[in-house]
Every structure is written in structure tokens, then in C-alpha cells.
Structure 1
Amino acid sequence: MNETVEQIQDWYRNERELSNYSIIDVEDKLKYLAEKGLIWILKDMKDINELEKIVIDSFLNKYRANQVYDNLNDFRNLQPSNKASTKKPPLLSPKPTSQQKTMKKTLKIRDVKKFDGYLKAKELEEKIIEICKTFPSYDGNIIDQIGRSAESIKKRIAMGEQIYIGEKFYQYSIAIGSAKETSSWLQISLGQGYISQEQYDELDNQVTQIVAILTKTLVNIKDKEGKGMDLPSPYTPKVKGFDAYEQALLLVEKVYGMTRRREFWGEKGLQKEMIKYATSCVANISESHQLYVLVKFRFFNDALQALDGLDSMLHMSVNKQIVTGEGIADIRKLRESIRNILMKRLGNISKEKDS
């Protein structure tokens, strides 16, 4: 059975390489494995990327009843792929798709250090590192998270400088999500008085410019080199103005205000956790506004988990008699409103994903 598992994993690696690591073709192959009841075999692979993990988990949940855990040797008799592996004969062979040919289109690699989007991202990261030196040391959460998200923009732009069109779209999608997350941390910092309105406007404007440059680049690629390919829309919706986002910012303000009261002075751990969950909700909502449906699904789901974590901390604060149920009623009401909006949006995304 272990040998069969290894062969199925080798088949997937082979097919993934032949499709130039296109997320479109990879998703087709993962769906095929899920329908056959073998998607669970890929869960332990160490060489799958973040997006593959999301797709695998999604298909595993959807086709959980199909999964086959016994008599795997039966799959040795499946028709081999027309594209032979150099390692072992592939066990499975979904029919080649029309996308498989178009995804072979490639791009010329340029010097990323001369790309305006990269230069602006590098400058933004440097400015944020410098401005974080003025933040209060006790709020390490914001310092760590805003630094990480700013670094991710630059890092993902650099990783997107490669020949594969599908992978470039994926890396730029993460960069756009990280940019929007960075903007949310800036907005939280403004709300807490860590930065001035002028500083916020300057840095947030630079974030907007980076997103615009990346979007324009992807639009040009889709219209030219990527013509005829099944690529996602390069345009992403604005986060500001989205009800759940605006309410989550208000939730953060209320949690900060509550945990700064005298009653929480001896509960630093609880205070830290409540702030972490509240701010994580905002960050995940903002980061969900990127290109791929499954990635959006993941970040909205993470925002919901953050709300659940906050609810657990609220219960603990009541049980410890730090606050009363009445004293946190407005926070619970706001949390529930955000949750309802996100659940509705997740339902819409699920319909989009299954269509």
C-alpha cells in the first residue's frame, strides 16, 4: 500500500511539472483525484505549496465520502497517462484539457529590481520598519504583523518574476492581498494613535499605487501573452466600504478600549489574546480581497475563526469576573453582525467556486 501511495504522489508531481505548475491545470488534477477517492494521499506531501493545500482541503471536504483508504492496489490497473513519467508509470490520467496547451505560454524574465512595483514595495517596507520604531513596545502584535505583511508584498513580487504566467498571477495575487492587509494594519495603527493622519495618508497611498501597478501588469499579461488562457480577473474589490471590514475596525477599537481598563491590568495574557483575535479578523478580511476564489474562501474562514477565538476570550473574561455580560454586550453584538456578513459572503463564494 505504501508503494501505491508513493506512486500516486509521483504521478501528481509528474503531471504538475508537465502542466508548468499551472494552478488551473493543477486544480483539475486534484479534482480528478478527489473524485477517484485519492485526494487524501497528497495531504502528507512536503513539496506542495500554500494554494495547493487550500485546494486539497477544499476537495477533501467536498468529496470526503468518495475517499478510498483500502485496497489501493486496485488503482494500479487504471489507464496510464499519455505523458510518461521518467520515474514510474503514472497510475491515473485525466484527459488532457485545452488549458494544458495554453498554459505552456511563458514570459520573459526581467530584472525585478528595476520594476516600479518592486521598488515601491521595498520603499514601503523600509518606511514601515522605520515608523514602527516609534510604536509602543507593549503592542508587539501590530509591529510584527505590519512588518510581516509589508515584507510579503516585496517578497511575492520578486517570486512572481518568472516565466510561468499562472504562477505569476498567483504570486501577484498574494502580493495584492498582503498590500491590502498592510493597509488594514496602517488603519488600525491610525486608530490607536500610533501614526498621524499625514503618515497614514502617505503610506496608504503608496499601498494603493503598488496594487494599481500589479493590477495593470496582470491586465496587460492577460490581454497579450495570456490571451485564451483561463486566468482570474486581475481586478480586486476595494476593502474599505465593505460592511464586515468597517465593523471589524470598530470591533478592534472597542476591544482595545475595553482591555486598557484597570480590570485588565493583571490579565496581560488575556488582553493580548483578545487584541490578537480582533485585529486578526480585520487582517484576514482585507487579505481575502485578492484574485483566487479558494484563497478568498480561506481568508474569510480564518476571519471567522478569529471571531470564534475572540468569543472564547470574552467568555473567559466574564467567567473571571473581569467584566460582566452586560459590559461586553455591544462587542458581542458587533461580533455577531460581522459573522453574519462573512457567512453570507462565504455562501456566495461557495456558489462561485462550485459553478
Structure 2
Amino acid sequence: MNEKVRQIQQEYQKVRELSNYSIFDIESSLKDLAEKGFVWILKDLKEICEAEEILIEHYLNKFRSYQIYDNLEVNPYLQSSIETAAKPPSQSSLDFAPVQKEKQTKKQQHLEVRDVKRFIGYKKARELEKKVIELCQNFPSYEVDHIVNQIERSARSIKDSIEMGEQVYVGERFNQYSIAIGSAKETSAWLQMSLGQKYITQVQFDELDNLTTQVVRILTKNLSNIKEKEGKGMDLPNPFTPNVKNFGAYNNALLLVEKIYEITRKPEFWKEKNLVRKMRKRATSSVANIAEAHQLYISKKFRFFNDSMKALDGLDSLLETSLIKGIISEKELKEIVELRISIRNVLSTKMANISGEKAS
């Protein structure tokens, strides 16, 4: 890797740390880099979250003609940026404007990097992934491209995020552990939907669901200790997340999945494989996103609730298509729509509250 590129990436990581990884704080920094021709440099960073990936891609596309790829060694703007990398962000020629003064003056907090393979949370996550993969070998073939892929992906994400969290920056560990916690809750949701369709037994569900709960507890305990000790003086989120199984919209979304699977198994749908696939995907996606929204950062909570809303809207459109084709009755449609609306109303209220939290 070009040394100049590496140093720009390191400078950006410092800004992320100072802003406590708030996507709202660093968005204008990404835009600033794009306008000056260097946002492409961040695409190789492995530590960036999904929201950052989306923003980087957005600004890269918007300012693609601005990007400078050649002669980095002699580029005067880039050189001056690197020379001032050690200065506070407000003095850097990259001019990362959104970082507030009080955050700039906070002491950079660091953690001791440990061998992740010796961390009990990582061991539990690896065990969970192995058992999920073994379990999925007995799923119906028509679920390979849907539930199987999704549950294996979410289980793998827990382990991968824990591994990425084992680094020196406190804020990044919080960020990666938050992703791992969300993935654990999503994995539990896919397990619960699999149980509802009788793809797994109650005993199998209880064993793996208990394993995901153990991972969440271990990560939460670690984050709580870090917040009280190494993270003092930093604006870190509360590491404790609510139990999604006590959330009414989540349980109603599970009922919605049951109804969609029940209806799409009827003979009227046998010739509508593509419609069946899409309807099931939208319904299950709503559940998975509600579950994954139960994590640490406000911006992530909002985004996952919003994705659940989009899935519900997509399902509504597919239901109307089914009605037009005459493969679903008005009565069946009414029951599902009422359930969908009840979920949507709860999510709307929750998102309004989250927006209030951000504003305050």
C-alpha cells in the first residue's frame, strides 16, 4: 500500500475515534474528502461500518471526476495533509469540520490487544457458527437461497465482528461489539422463524438460542467494564440492550411470517414461485431487521427499523398483486394487512422516539 494512502487512512481513523463513530458527525468529513479527490482511499479500510460504506460509495459516485489516483507522492495537497496529521483535526488541511471542540480535546483511549482466539466470547461465537452450519444441512432445499444463507451469514458476522473488535481503539471495539450483538439477535430471530416452520426442533432452538444469549452477555459485560474504566471521559453508548423477545412489534412480525408461509403453501400459489419467494423474503426480513435494531448505537437502531418498514411496504405491494391475480381472498388480505399495520405503527413510534434521542 502507498505510504501516503496509509497515513490518510490513519488520520481518518483518528477522526472517527474522536467523533465516537457517529455517522452523523463524520458524514461531512467523507464529503470533504470526496470533493478534494481522496474518498477512494477509504474503500480499502476493513474497519468501516455498513453506513460508512454506503456514504463512501455515494460520494465516490457523486464526485468521481474529482478523484486523484496518480502521482500521490508529489501531490502538494496530499503531502501537506500528511504533514499535519498529528495536529488536532481542526488544524489539519483535511479539515474534518464536524468534530466538536470538546471531542477534539478528549484523551485518546486505547486498549490492550489480546489474542481473540483465547477470548471466551469469540469461542462461543465460533461454536455457534459451527452448530448453525451443521443444523442447516437438514433444511429444505428451497430455503438454501433464503433462510439458510441468512442464518449462516448472521452467525458468521458475530464471530467476524468480535475479531475485528480486538484492537487498540475503545470506540471501534464498541462499534464492532455492537454489530456482533445485533448479529446475535438477528441469528436468534432466524432460529425462531426456523422453529416456527418446523425446520428445527424446540430442543435445537433452545440450545442455539441460549448460545447466542451467552455471547451477548459476554460482550455486554466486557463493554460495561471498558466503559467504566478505559472509556472514562468518552461519550460511549450504554452497552445494555433490551430483550427483543419482549418487543411487541417483533412478536407480531413473527406471526406475520407464520401467516405468509401458511398462505403461500396453498395450491393457488404453486405456480407463483417467484411471488412466493419475494413474499417470504419481505416478511422474514422485517423480523430480522427488528431484531438487529436492538443494539447500541442510535443511528444503527434507526436504520434497521427503517429497513423493516421498507420490507413491510414491499410485502404490501406483493399482497396487492396476489389479490389482483385472484390467488388470495379479501378476508386473508385484511387479516395480514391489519397485522402489518400494527407492526408499522409500533415501529413508526419507536423511530420517532429515536429521532428525539438524537436531537437531544
State the TM-score bracket (shorter-chain normalisation).
Answer: 0.7 to 0.9
Aligned to 1:264: 269
The separation in 1 between residues aligned to 2:50 and 2:105, in whole angstroms, is 22
| CA drift at 1:93 | 5.7
Counterpart amino acid of residue 46 in structure 1? K
Corresponding residue of 1:139: 143
Check conservation: 1:16, 1:26, Cα contact below 8 A: no
Which residue type is aligned with residue 215 of structure 2?
I
TM-superposed deviation, 1:250: 0.2
Q: Which residue number in structure 1 is paired with residue 49 of structure 2? A: 50
Moved over 6 A (4+): 9-12, 42-45
CA gap 1:203/1:33 in 2 versus in 1, 3 angstroms:
closer
Deviation at 1:327, TM superposition (A): 2.5
Task: Name the TM-score, length of structure 2 as normaliser.
Answer: 0.81
Pairwise CA distance, 1:202 = 0.8
Gaps of 5+ in 2: 60-79
Letter of the 2:213 partner, please give it: T
Segments of structure 1 that go 5 or more residues without pairing to the other structure are 1-8, 61-79
Which of 7, 20, 24 lines up with 1:24 in the alignment? 20
Is 1:103–1:165's contact at 8 Å kept on the other side of the alignment?
Answer: no
Which deviates the most, 311-320 or 177-186? 311-320
Between Structure 1 and Structure 2, how many residues are aligned? 329
Root-mean-square deviation (CA, aligned residues, Å) is 3.3
Residue equivalent to 1:290: 295
Does 2:183 align with 1:178?
yes
CA distance in 2, matches of 1:121, 1:351: 34
Deviation at 1:240, TM superposition (A): 0.4
Contact 2:43 2:53 in 1 (8 A): no
How high is the sequence identity, in percent, across the aligned residues?
Answer: 51
Q: Tell me how far apart the structure 1 counterparts of residues 33 and 108 of structure 2 sit (CA, whole Å).
A: 25
Deviation of 1:112 (Å): 0.5
Question: 1:22, CA displacement in angstroms?
Answer: 4.6
Distance, in Å, in 2 between the alignment partners of 1:354 and 1:178 is: 27
- Report the counterpart of residue 62 of structure 2 in structure 1: none
C-alpha distance in structure 1 between counterparts of 2:262 and 2:102, whole Å? 56
- Taking the aligned partners of 2:113 and 2:136, their CA distance within structure 1 comes to 34
SS at match of 1:194: coil
- In 2: Cα distance, 1:54 partner to 1:347 partner: 25
- Structure 2 match to 1:231: 236
Q: Taking structure 1 as the reference length, what is the TM-score of the superposition?
A: 0.82
User: How far apart, CA to CA, are the structure 2 residues paired with 1:93 and 1:131?
Assistant: 48
Is the Cα–Cα contact under 8 Å of residues 21 and 172 in structure 2 kept in the other structure? no
The separation in 2 between residues aligned to 1:136 and 1:93, in whole angstroms, is 51
Single out whichever of 100-109 and 302-311 deviates more from structure 2. Answer: 100-109
Check 1:107–1:332 CA distance in 2 against 1; reply closer, same or farther (3 A cut): same
Instruction: Give the Å deviation of 1:105.
Output: 1.3
Distance 1:100-1:334 versus aligned 2 partners, 3 A rule: same
Paired residue for 1:124? 128
Shift of residue 30, structure 1, vs aligned partner: 2.9
Q: Tell whether the 8 Å contact from 1:109 to 1:161 is kept in structure 2 after alignment.
A: yes
